[in-house]
A and B are shown apart, each in its own frame.
Chain A
Amino acid sequence: MSDIGFVRKDMLPEQAPPASEVGIIGWVRENLFSGIGNSVMTILSLAAIFYTLAALLPWVFSPTWNAGSLNECREILHAQGKEGHFAGACWGVIRERWIQLMFGFYPSDLYWRPIVTFGLMFVAVIPILFNMISRRMNWFLLAVVILLATFAFGGIIAWVLRILSAAGAAYLAYTLFATDKADRAEQIAQGAKRLPNPLIFSALFPFIFPWLLWGGSLWVPIGAILGFVIGYYVYAALAKTVGGLAGLIAGPLAAIIWWLFLVGTFAGVMESIIPLSIEAVESRKFGGFMLSITIGVVAIVGSLPLGIVLALGRQSDLLIVKALCVGFIEFIRGVPLITLLFVASTLLNVFMPPGTNFDIILRVLIMVTLFAAAYMAEVVRGGLAALPTGQYEGADSLGLNYWQAQRLVIMPQALKISIPGIVSTFIGVFKDTTLVSIIGLLDPLGLTNAIRADANWNGVVWELYGFIAVLFFVFCFSMSRYSMYLERKLQTGHK
């Protein structure tokens, strides 16, 4: 008899896990069939998905792309032996009308203008939205967009632009390939001249944007830019001689007087000396997604700075500023957007003397921007309120003045906190642009009605709405993904 049991002296080698615990089977077991309840739910969900797709897919995949009318669609489906109200989608309407859904009634020979505008817009927003591409890359993109744009029109200007942009693009592409990022950083460290900041183009873009879309004289946007220059010089001159406050009042005043009364004359005179104009397109020709995106982009870009100012004003200690901001925010938030749009489309018309040509889209742009700004102000205020008082006090104790403290300490943190709310407001505003169909502007939803009024397509509903929904989803989902990217990028680990 021995009381010595078996003692293993060496470690067992690792064994492969059982097949039921790893790989696809393991994942399925763990995530889908981990218990009776879960198994039942999985089977029910699969059945629901199956039945939905079984009903939807045959409808979606219907060979009606070339049909010229609803009846032709029905004949095609009939020939395939499909009958009934939901036998198959009638995609012919999308083939015939998708350009109209994109551009509305914009003249077809000028489609390049909105396309170029939105191409340039991407170039302009890249340095603002992402800091991952270099200056060279950004200027290269700009040169490429301009180069592509020149193929839309002819004439000597096109050739000059084409050669210039091609040369610029080629040079930038060469430098991009010749030196990589690290080499370039070293060159810059040794004092190599950097390319100008692409934000210059981003700052100019708000003036190029309306000019390309609406057309007219190039001198009008130039005059608008001059307004800022004039305002700045008046401010600078007065701030030196009379005092800061006088400059702060007189500078904007001078700019406003210039914009309201003198830009028209300036543009007219310059136009008669050096004509620089492209064909004007009336607002009424705008429609479809072009209209939605135009309104959405302007409202988004305009509402953020305005909202920040309003949020700061609401927290201000100055009584009048605070009262104005609170009044504005509460009034706009207390009124539905539809009401504001009706005011824009009908009431203003009645108040203004006949013959006043106050562009309907401009009115809508102003109203939607103000509406979005009021919501934005409250979102930003939420961010401000979430900051601990210590941050404000810390900024004060560093000796920063109000604007420095806001710019360097408060706003970067407050805006970071508010990103989900801000983007959610953006998405909401973009979707709200469809409300303009109520006042007779033909946005995508308004156009569906107009398209159905064509005897060929009367009765087509789901295809049009489905197409529009998919496009809206693409835009809104991209915005949502961008906000998540931004949150990750700005994550500084205060968790």
Chain B
Amino acid sequence: MKKSVIFGALTVAGLAAGAAAAGTLDDVKARGKLNCGVTTGLVGFAAPDANGNWDGFDVGVCRAVAAAVLGDPAAVEFVPTTGKTRFTALASGEIDMLARNTTWTFSRDVDLKFTFVGVNYYDGQGFMVPSELGVSSAKDLDGATVCIQTGTTTELNLADFFRANGISYEPVPIETNAEAQQQYLAGACDVYTTDASGLAATRATFEDPGAHVLLPEIISKEPLGPLVRHGDNNWGDVVRWTLNALITAEELGVTSANIGELAAGTDNPEVNRLLGTEGNLGEMLGLSADWAKSAIMAGGNYGELFEKNIGENTPIALARGLNAQWTDGGLIYSPPFR
């Protein structure tokens, strides 16, 4: 008897959960704020400034979605998540979307039941060595000591790479990137390996960045992108097409500078459809007609976000590389707005 009552209560709770989860878009609109999960701090991708305002490449995606849904890029509640809490925060509904340089993998997509809506940064694991070591390829690293963050995919990738090439290494396990920097500079390891963007950011902080080189080998695929929960396709579409709008805007030459002019109407029907002066794409998503315009105005198009936060004029100085538009030989490609 008691048990059935408990199960009954659980069922009701489950149904309520299902009902609440069915309309993330409506929840966000009703709340007037987007709860966006970000990292607790990663150079160029998400960091609070001295006044507590968040800024960065991933943060830009959050702001674009908030602008598209609510018309206000500031209507975001940033929820700092760690590598351990991020997935439960998303699964439990504490956050509406996660934009936390999370690698799109099979198990996260299928087993953890998330939907990766796209890729906003193609990363990969690389190596950094002091240039005085005279190493020009990762295959020359036989017998090297390697600083590596424990419990990450980078550890497994490293083991695979060295085994595949038949060379040996000695791992120096470390916990955080800050610790790695100190160990590497103190000479506790010959090589530091992590995501290439992280290596570039780390090298930029060194007193003499020129004394360290990034080796050409990239030994893993790390497509990073925003994700949402399974089961709410409408909300997934909103986040996916907001990201696509930023990418398409760059491809079509729509920037935050000229968007006001272009929104008055152009001869290019795709630009018109994107900016809502033609067709009813916004209505199909359940958003206003100028949703994409708001999203692009929030922080600029994909290229502008990249340049501002992690591009070549920032201390991190990442080249576009794989993250160039497909028309420039990169992998950044949005399906058409039609």
Interface residues of A (CB under 8 A from B): 70, 74, 84-85, 96-97, 99-100, 104-105, 108, 282, 284-285, 342, 345-347, 349-350, 352-355, 437-442, 446, 448-455, 458-459, 461
Contacts and interface: CB of A to CB of B under 8 A. Distances in A.
B15 to A, nearest CB: 9
- Report, as a range, how many residues of chain B touch the other chain: 35 or more
Contacts of A438: 82, 84
Nearest to A441: B80
Given A85-B207, A455-B201, 19 more contacts: A96-B50, A99-B50, A100-B48, A108-B51, A285-B52, A347-B88, A349-B92, A349-B94, A353-B17, A441-B80, A448-B178, A449-B40, A452-B41, A453-B43, A453-B47, A453-B48, A454-B43, A455-B314, A459-B181
Given A440-B82, A450-B48, A355 B182 contact: no
A447 B85 CA distance: 17
Contact of B207 (A74, A352, A437): A74
10 contacts: A85-B207, A100-B52, A342-B85, A353-B16, A440-B81, A451-B41, A452-B178, A453-B56, A455-B314, A455-B316
Contacts of B204: 455, 458
A350 B202 CA distance: 36
Interface in B1-58: 13-14, 16-17, 20-21, 39-52, 56
A459 B205 contact: yes
Contact of B185 (A85, A441, A442, A451): A85
Interface in B71-123: 77, 79-82, 84-85, 88-89, 91-94
A102 to B, nearest CB: 12
A355 B20 contact: yes
B85 A446 contact: no
A455 B42 CA distance: 9
**Which of A74, A84, A346 gathers the greatest number of chain B CB atoms within 10 Å?**
A346
Contacts of A100: 48, 50, 52
A446 B77 contact: no
A302 B60 CA distance: 42
A354 B91 CA distance: 10
A352 B89 CA distance: 13
Contacts of B51: 108
A278 to B, nearest CB: 20
Contacts of A108: 51
Given A105-B52, A455-B316, A459-B205, A450 B40 contact: yes
B50 A349 contact: no
A36 to B, nearest CB: 39
B176 interface: yes
